[in-house]
Structures are given as C-alpha cells and as structure tokens.
Structure 1
C-alpha cells in the first residue's frame, strides 16, 4: 500500500518527533515515520486496517492496554522528548499554559476552576508518573486490523504530563458503567506498575481539569487556524468551560 503524506500545522510540529521516538520505544504501536520535511510535512508508512471509530467496549479496553504500554515506555525518556520539542505540561506548567492560552476568553480560568493549582498538586500526590500523553485518545484516533493490537495515530496533540487525561478521553461517550469499567481497568494497570499509587483519586480530582484543558486546546486551535475556519469551532471553548464548571461541582479536592 502507498504511504501517507500528512501536512501538520505549526502547533502540531512535534508530531514527527513523537513518531520518531515511538518507532524505537514502541514499534508497531504508531505509524512508522518514513521522512519528515519542512513546514510540517510527514511521510508515514501505511497502517493496515480501518479507523476504529466504532470500537465497542472491548475495543476501548484494547486501546487502553496499548496506550498503557506506550506510557510505561515513555516514563524514563521525558527530558529527551521535551528536548525534541514535545510540549512539556508537567505539573504547574499545565496550569500556566491553560491560563495563558485561555486569557483572551471569558469566563476566566479562576472563575471556572479556582482550585486548579490545588487539583494539580493533589493529583501529583497520587504518585502516578508523568509520561507521554496522546492528548486525544478516542477510538477514532486508532486503526485496527482484525485481532491485531490497535495502532494509535494522530499524535499532534501529544504532550508530557499526567496519564489521567488519556483515560478520561477514552472513557467519554459511553455509559457511566462502561466508563467506570475502563477507568477501573486502567487504575489496576497503574497500581501494578507503580505500587502505592492512587489512580482513582487522580481521576476524580483531574476530571474538571480535563475539560478545562480541552478548552485551552480549542483556544490554541482557534488562535492558529484561518479566520474562515473559526465558525466551525467558535463554540468549543465556551462549551468546554461549561463542562469544566459542571464537573467541578461534583468533584471536591480532598473529598
């Protein structure tokens, strides 16, 4: 099959660096980078199968296992990934980026989530390691061929930070029972890998932060795209801000 030619915008320019690292650390779990050219051009080897938008619950669990393996491999390589250009949003850097990116938008971050810093500190105390986060880990960002392991694609949103954000994204748009099952399986994997950590508390305190981070992602996207594209995404920032505020009402730090 012919390779894929992909053109990414400047704010996704680190995708090539992520794919280059994944080729050595987690071969077969992401598209193979054949070449990277100027101005965001990527030549990628064909990935067999189909985009897995219609993954069932068992499929989402398979995606979770694949993502966990990648994140375990990345734990000891974060400084190298940061040096290669992957955005570093570990700890307080995430709060700083969210506030700076959402500064032009209303309501303000501190009006929506006044305990943002407290939540990030509480999550850090849960003992989960920072790692490589995909940033948009929904089933449509994977491809699968039969019973083969899923291949995770579209790494332009990737950054360094807390792995909670990927499982929160993966467990969206399913029933509450299914979401709980996905998160429980994810938590069990992390407790096995990092004895003594508290994944469940990290999920609880970061759920509102995930919605706030999504608002910042859309704000950065709006700032980087052509004005003609704005009408298609203009409502995404306020929608995510509302979701963050609603999530905060049912999630109290320390509860």
Structure 2
C-alpha cells in the first residue's frame, strides 16, 4: 500500500527465456551493489557473509537436530570465498513469482528476505523446479557474466559448493519463521525444515 503498483504480471510460469532476461536484470543490480555492501549492512540489511552465514544458520537450526547436514559448513564457505566472487545484495527469494514483466521490462519485487552475501544464492533459487538442461544453461550464463566482470573468479565452483548451503539457508529461514508464528499455524509448515534439510543432504552426497 506504500509503494507504486509495478506494471505487468507475476512470472510464476516463466519459461527459460523469461528467467534468463530476469537474471540479466538482477545481475545488473548485484554488480551495482557490490561497492555498497558495508553501507547496506550499516542501514540494517542482514549480514550473511561467510562466517556470519554459518553462525546464523547454526543458530536457527539448533532446535532441529541438523548437526549432520551442518558438518563442514565453515570449511565449505571458506572454499567458496576462495572462488573470488564479491559479496553483494542478495534477493533471498528470487523465484519467478517475485518477478513482474510487462513485455518491455522485468522488475524484481518483494525484497523482504534480502541480505548481504554471496550472489550465487539467487541464481540457485531462480533455477529451481526447471528441467536440468534449462537450469544448467541459466547457471552457465550467470557464470559467464561474473567471469567477464571479475577476471580470475571461479563461479562454477562457487555454485557447486553452495548448492547444499542454499538448502540449509532455506531450512534456516523456515526455522526462523516457525519460531515466530502462532502455534495453530505451525501444522502447515512443520515439514518445511526437514524437507530442505533432506535436500541439503542429497546435494552434499
């Protein structure tokens, strides 16, 4: 009610081309916010860079007996840092329903889950629930953009390392949500944490 209406339609049924176009727009936003991450954190955007992400994830999942899935998290994030991509503004929930298109432009909406952290989390979210070939192509395009802008970085390796971490982060988001909702609502979301922990375990192998 406090912001102008964004023209267009939500892209819940976005095809590969629509997702690819939105990813280009989002990349521009992430590149533009790289120099501003410290200011964003000072303004109140959650800081989930590296060790802070590990601490927050462990804290949120402490009641959910996730020690097995969390094993080696810090070492994995250290390796991610070595891949050379910069931290930036992460949308945090970049599924097609949070993209609006009007035939001329794509607008990223609903930044309520945003944080400062690794940019790969958003491309991983955007490529959920699509055929493997489509997801691979979108990730490859994302990697090419970052390699062009940050010579010497290793985006493919960063994505591979963060696949299980992305599910852990989502499990932690749901754990935080469960901790704050009314008891009568918990029945509708009780499976969200274990389901995402299972996906994290499957990605870790």
* Normalised TM-score (structure 1): 0.79
1:102 aligns with 2:61: yes
Q: Within 5 Å, which residues of 2 pair with 1:55-204?
A: 55-106=14-65, 108=66, 110-146=67-103, 148-204=104-160
> What 5-or-longer segments of structure 2 have no aligned partner?
none
Q: Secondary structure at the match of 1:143?
A: strand
Question: What number of residue pairs does the alignment pair up?
Answer: 205
Q: For 1:104-131, what per-residue CA distance to the aligned partner results, in whole angstroms no more than 9, with x for missing partners?
A: 112x2x3113111111011100000000
> Residue in 2 aligned with 1:211?
167
User: Whose RCO is larger (CA < 8 A, sep 6+)?
Assistant: 2
Q: For 1:31-90, what per-residue CA distance to the aligned partner results, in whole angstroms no more than 9, with x for missing partners?
A: xxxxxxxxxxxx011100111101110000011101100000100001111111100000
Q: Distance in 1 between matches of 2:180 and 2:107?
A: 28
> What 5-or-longer segments of structure 1 have no aligned partner?
6-42, 250-255
1:130–1:163: 8 Å Cα contact kept in structure 2? Answer: yes
User: Whose helix proportion is higher, 1 or 2?
Assistant: 2
| Greater C-alpha Rg | 1
> Residue in 1 aligned with 2:6?
47
2:11–2:98: 8 Å Cα contact kept in structure 1? Answer: yes
1:113–1:244: 8 Å Cα contact kept in structure 2? Answer: no
Name segments (4+ residues, structure 1) moved above 2 Å: none
* Normalised TM-score (structure 2): 0.98
Q: Secondary structure at the match of 2:63?
A: coil
2:58–2:70: 8 Å Cα contact kept in structure 1? Answer: no
Instruction: State the superposition RMSD in angstroms.
Output: 0.8
1:112–1:241: 8 Å Cα contact kept in structure 2? Answer: yes
Q: Secondary structure at the match of 1:103?
A: helix
1:51–1:141: 8 Å Cα contact kept in structure 2? Answer: yes
